[in-house]
Amino acid sequence: MSRSSSIHSGDGVLRRPSQYVSMDRLNDRLAVMSGYGATPKGGVNRQALTAEDLQAQLQLIRWGAELGMQPSSDSAGNLFLRCEGSDPSLAPVLSGSHLDSQPTGGKFDGVYGVLAALEAVNAMQDAGLNPRRSIEVVSWMNEEGSRFAPGMMGSTAYADPNSLSEMLLVKDAKGVSVREALSLIQDGLREIPCRSLGGHPHAYIEAHIEQGPLLEQQNAVVGVVSGIQGKRTFRVEIIGEATHAGTSPRSKRKDAILAAVRIIDALANRLHDGGDIVKFTVGRLIVEPNAPSVVANRVVFSIDLRHPKSAELTLLGDLILPFCEINARPCSVSLTELSNATSLEFPDAIRDRIRSIASTLKIAHIDLLSAAGHDARYLHKVCPSGMIFVPSRDGITHNEAEYTSAEDLTDGARVLADVLGELST
C-alpha cells in the first residue's frame, strides 16, 4: 500500500493528485450548485439555513457518497464528508469553505472552496492514492452573516463550542432564530449521523476566490495567503464651547473643529509608513452645531485602523489616546474603542508548502494578505491553517457578476489537491 501522496506508476513517472484534477468535473459541479438559489441575473441567493442551503448540502452529500465519503453534521450545522485514511486514529486534514451566499451573491464565493476540496479527494482516488490521514471536506454554517449576523458562526462555534448557545438566539429580519432555522435543516438531514462540536484537526486549508483585484493585476493565478488583516475601530468625541464667530476672542475659544483638525493631522502623520502598510481612515465627522458663524462646541469622528501584524496594530492603536489628549487642548476629548479584531498570520510551514507546490506545478503565484475575513480565521485557533486564493475578475464579489475562469478555478484546485495530498501522507 502506498503511504505517499505521490506514487510512481509502472513506468516510473511521479504521479501527483493534481494530475487527476478535472476541470470539467469541477465546473460541472459548480454549475449544478449555482442552480440552488439561482437568481435571474445569473447569481445566487442561497442564504444560510434556508431551503436552498439544505438542497445544496444534500447535493454535496450525494457527491460524497459516490466517492464513499461518510457525511456527518454537528450541533452548529456544519457539514463534514469524511474520506477515511489508512490510519483513522490520526487527526484528519480539513478542507472546505461555505455553501451559503449573500442575497445577490455570485457562483463562486464559498462554494468553490467546498467543491475544490471535493475535487481534490476525487483526484486522489483517481490517482489510486491511499493517504494515511483521513480528509474531511467541510461546509461551515453561515459564513456570510447576511441572514443571521454576525457571519462565520459555524467555524466560530467549531473553534469555541461555548459560543454556540448565544448564536442560537440570533434572529433574522423575520424573527426566525438560528435555533429554529437550524432545526429545519437538521430535520432535512436526519439520516446523517451527528458528531460532537469542535475538534483538533491536523491542518485546515481553505481555497477561496480572492474578492479583490491583486491577482489579476499581477497576472498571478494563485494567491498564497499570508494572513488576515486585523482592524481596530474608535470613536473620538471632542467637547469645546459654542461662541460667536465675530465677538469671541480667538485666544479664549474652545474650538472643537480646530482640535479635531490637529488630532487628525497628527495621527495621519504618525500612523503613516513608507510601505503603505498601515491603513488609517477617518471616514466620518459630525460637527455641532454645524453653523457657519458659530465656533463648534462638539465634534465626533471615526477612526478605522488596520495593520497585518497584531503587535503593530496594538501598538499603533494604543498611540491614539495620547495624541488625542495632547492635541485637543483646550477642548476635552474622549476615546471609545468600538472593535478590536486581531490580525493573524498563517504558519510559514503551510504557506511554504502551498508556494512550493504552486512553483512545482508552474502556476504563477504571489503572496497576498486577505483584507476580508474567512472561516480560516477561526480554524487558525485550533490547527495550522492556510488559504489559497484564485483571481476574481475585476475584483467583483458579493455580486451576481462575480466571475473566475474555469482554468483559474482548476489551477487553484490542483494546488489544493497536492497540498492535501502531502498533509494527509
Q: Measured from the CB atom, is 97 or 130 closer to Zn ion? A: 97
- 206 contributes a contact to Zn ion by CB under 5 A: no
Nearest to 409 by CA among 13, 30, 8: 30
Smallest distance, Zn ion to C-beta of residue 43, A: 14
DSSP assignment of 144-200 equals S-SSSSSS-HHHHHHH-GGGHHHHTT-B-TTS-BHHHHHHHHHHHTTTSPB--S---
Q: Measured from the CB atom, is 52 or 109 closer to Zn ion? A: 109
| 54 to 93: interface string for Zn ion, x by CB under 5 A | ----------------------------------------
The 8-class DSSP code of residue 84 comes to: -
Q: Which of 96, 110, 201, 391 lies at the binding interface for Zn ion (CB under 5 A)?
A: 110
Q: Measured from the CB atom, is 254 or 377 closer to Zn ion? A: 377
Phi first, then psi, for residue 207 (nearest 5°) are -95, 140
Q: How many whole angstroms separate alpha carbon 138 and alpha carbon 49?
A: 15
Smallest distance, Zn ion to C-beta of residue 362, A: 28
Q: Segment contacting Zn ion (CB under 5 A): 37-45, 79-87, 109-117, 344-352?
A: 109-117
Q: What Å distances lie between residue 376 and 62, 239, 344, 363, CA to CA?
A: 25, 42, 10, 23
Q: How many whole angstroms separate alpha carbon 195 and alpha carbon 128?
A: 29
Binding residues among 355-414 for Zn ion as defined by CB under 5 A: none
Q: Measured from the CB atom, is 111 or 124 closer to Zn ion? A: 111
Q: Which of 52, 53, 109, 402 lies at the binding interface for Zn ion (CB under 5 A)?
A: 109
Q: Is 37 helix (H, G, I), strand (E, B) or coil?
A: coil
Q: Is 56 helix (H, G, I), strand (E, B) or coil?
A: helix
Q: Segment contacting Zn ion (CB under 5 A): 107-115, 165-173, 182-190, 391-399?
A: 107-115
Q: Measured from the CB atom, is 327 or 404 closer to Zn ion? A: 404
Three-state secondary structure of 359-419: HHCCCCEEEEEECCCCCHHHHCCCCCEEEEEECCHHHCCCCCCCCCCHHHHHHHHHHHHHH
Contact between residue 99 and residue 61 where contact means Cβ atoms under 8 Å apart: no
Grid coordinates of 324: 488625542
Smallest distance, Zn ion to C-beta of residue 109, A: 4
Binding residues among 123-182 for Zn ion as defined by CB under 5 A: none
Smallest distance, Zn ion to C-beta of residue 345, A: 20
Q: Measured from the CB atom, is 109 or 422 closer to Zn ion? A: 109
Query: Binding-site residue total for Zn ion (CB under 5 A)?
Result: 2
Q: Segment contacting Zn ion (CB under 5 A): 38-46, 47-55, 104-112, 185-193?
A: 104-112
Smallest distance, Zn ion to C-beta of residue 110, A: 4
Q: How many whole angstroms separate alpha carbon 195 and alpha carbon 209?
A: 29
The residue of the chain with the least Cβ separation from Zn ion equals: 110
Q: How many whole angstroms separate alpha carbon 126 and alpha carbon 104?
A: 36
Smallest distance, Zn ion to C-beta of residue 98, A: 6
Q: Segment contacting Zn ion (CB under 5 A): 103-111, 290-298, 308-316, 339-347?
A: 103-111
Residue matched to cell numbers 508552474? 362
161 Cβ neighbours under 8 A, 6+ residues apart: 76, 197, 198
Q: Measured from the CB atom, is 18 or 397 closer to Zn ion? A: 397
Residues that bind Zn ion (CB under 5 A): 109-110
